[in-house]
Every structure is written in structure tokens, then in C-alpha cells.
Amino acid sequence: MREKVEFTAVWDDDLNSLLESLGVLAEMTAGKANCVNCGRQVNIDNLGTIIPTIELVNFTCDDAFCVQSVTSREPVTSSG
């Protein structure tokens, strides 16, 4: 039996509004947002995931390993 997994998706047209509502659009467009996994600079074009916490908002880049590291319930190890 497959496990049910819920996630939230955002249309490209709504992304700027979402980032603005989270208070991080200026940070991202200024090049000050980094992937919590690999440290790569994250922008609108390479944004993988948005990870809101109580105190701040984190991001991952669109690299499959980085996205999987925060979306998988299993530990992820780098193959490279």
C-alpha cells in the first residue's frame, strides 16, 4: 500500500506574491538567499523548495538531491 503524502504547490504566476507575503522576495532578488543543503545561491529561476519555520524561511535550490533532502522521510546521502 502506498503512503499518502501531501504537499503544496505554487503556480509560477503566484510565486512572487507568495515570496512577498513571506517577506523574502527582496532577499531573493538581491541574491542573498542560499540553499540550506548545498549553499548555492537561490533565485526565482532555480528555487526548489520553500521551507517556512516559525522564525525564518529557508530554501533549497532545484538540484534533485537538495529537494529530496528536505522532502524525503528517508535519510539522503550524496552520491558524489
In a domain, 23, yes or no: no
Q: What is the domain count for the chain?
A: 1
Name which residue leads in pLDDT, 7 or 70: 70
- The DSSP string of 15-80 is HHHHHHHTT-HHHHHTT--BBTTT--B--TTTEEEEEE-SS-EEEEES-HHHHHHHH-SS------
pLDDT tens for each residue of 10-63: 888 899 999 999 999 999 999 999 999 999 999 999 999 999 888 899 999 999
Q: Is residue 24 part of a domain?
A: no
Q: Has residue 73 been placed in a domain?
A: yes
pLDDT at position 59 is 95
What CA–CA distance (Å, rounded) separates 53 from 57?
A: 6
Taking 90 as the threshold, does the pLDDT of residue 72 lie above it? no
Q: Which residues form the domain of 53?
A: 33-80
Does the pLDDT value for residue 78 go beyond 70? no
Q: What is the pTM of this model?
A: 0.79
